[in-house]
Structure 1
Amino acid sequence: MMLIEETAPAAGALPVALLREHLQLGSGFQIGEDSAETMALSGFLRAAIAAIEARTGKVLLTRRFRMQLDDWRDRLGQTLPLAPVQVVNDIRIDDGRGTVTTLSPEGWRLLPDGQRPMLLPTGIILPHVPRRGMVTITFTAGFGESWDQVPADLAQAVLMLAARYYEDRSLEGSRSAMPFGVSALIERWRQVRTLAGRGNREAR
């Protein structure tokens, strides 16, 4: 499986002001609101968001992803690796010889789920993928486009982790360990993830 992030959170959606306030109240830092500092804080927030999304499989701010598979994991239903999925934009099958077919939305449906959203066929099974072919699924996932739509515990975990990155920015390897408070906040969102990898190909 290959998962590609096609869009990134808008700079205006990042809680830079909240992080600045968090640092001032928690550590006594007086942070100037200049463009260089804002860019640095945005970088720490993006790093914290990425770390928490990697641990939980949850997308905090809405964006579009492209997943490429060499075959369905299960033709009765394909699990998507991230949640919550808002919409499946399109599905395309490349036969490996230059022909790409866009599947009709009438042939599949999204089964929303907070942990394991699935792509299900409206018929019996999902369409055949040729042996040397590939299926590409483009979907949009995330809790929302603005920070106030992110669940409170995940939002707080991001601020805490970004603050830790800021405070430890001069230390080597400071981003390798997840602080206990952050781990506690995200624990209920974690799951044993079913990877959307190669399925059992039929003999063809």
Structure 2
Amino acid sequence: MMLIEETTVADDALPVEAFKAHLRLGSGFGQDTVQEPVLRSFLRAAMSAIEARTGKVLMQRSFSLSLTFWRDAEAQPLPVAPVTEVTRVALVARDGVQTDVAEATYWLERDSQHPKVRAARACLPQVPTAGAVLIAFDAGYSAAWDGLPSDLQQAVLMLAAHFYEYRDDTGLSAGCMPFGVSSMIERYKILRLGMGAGQ
């Protein structure tokens, strides 16, 4: 399995001004934008860390998932949530030639924890021998920062501030997440039942 992020969050979609306010940075001194590249990098790092912990995509982006076999012939779980649309399913032959699968043969089961591509008929199409299947989809809570749940917004700002404050502390290289952030994202973590049965 290989998940590829096909698009990224645009710089102007990041909440730089909200982050400045959160950090209580001064303004009106003629160099208000000097730190913006640094602030954007910490916002991206915080969003990435929270997405990794929760399995949730915060701001909408496009992804592609490549598989060499279906986990289940009737339904294939997708590795992140929330998925808003499956834009393409294609079979990839051994020589790399791609053949689109008809949209009528599958559908998206929307779920906040475990979205799936489900077969509309008896089963999903057979994966070519020595080939793969490619699933393209869009995922994320919102295309705009203001569309994110408020607790996730706050968690991103808090974690980005933590990264900013301790940016020179090499003792944190093993990684950590402040308790306040952990408690806010707890309810978004993927629920796993038994030996991964929830997937």
TM over 0.5: yes
Residue 119 of structure 2 corresponds to 121
Query: Amino acid of the residue matched to residue 58 of structure 2?
Result: L
- The DSSP-based 3-state class of the residue aligned with 2:35 is helix
CA positional deviation for 1:174:
2.7
Q: How far apart are 1:100 and its partner, in Å?
A: 1.8
3-state DSSP of counterpart to 2:44:
helix
Aligned-partner SS, 1:36:
coil
Mapped to 1, the partners of 2:191 and 2:130 lie a distance apart of 30
1:189 paired to 2:185: no
TM-score normalised per structure 1: 0.89
Aligned to 1:19: 19
Give the aligned length.
192
Structure 1 residue 140 displacement after superposition: 0.3
> Alpha carbon RMSD of aligned pairs, Å?
1.8
Displaced runs of 4 or more, over 2 A? 29-36, 192-195
Gap runs ≥5 in structure 1: 198-204
Structure 2 unaligned spans of 5+: none
Change (3 A) 1:185 1:107: same
SS of residue in 2 equivalent to 1:139 = strand
CA shift at 1:173, angstroms? Answer: 4.5
Tell me the equivalent position of 1:5.
Answer: 5
Alpha-carbon separation, structure 2, partners of 1:92 and 1:2: 15
Cα distance in structure 1, aligned partners of 2:32 and 2:172? 25
Alignment partner of 1:163 out of 139, 161, 169? 161
Deviation string, structure 1 residues 21-46 (Cα, Å, up to 9, x no partner)? 0111xxxx536654330111000000
Counterpart secondary structure, 2:159: helix
- Give, in whole Å, the separation in 1 of the partners of 2:138 and 2:149: 18
Q: Name the CA distance, whole Å, in 2 between partners of 1:90 and 1:130.
A: 17
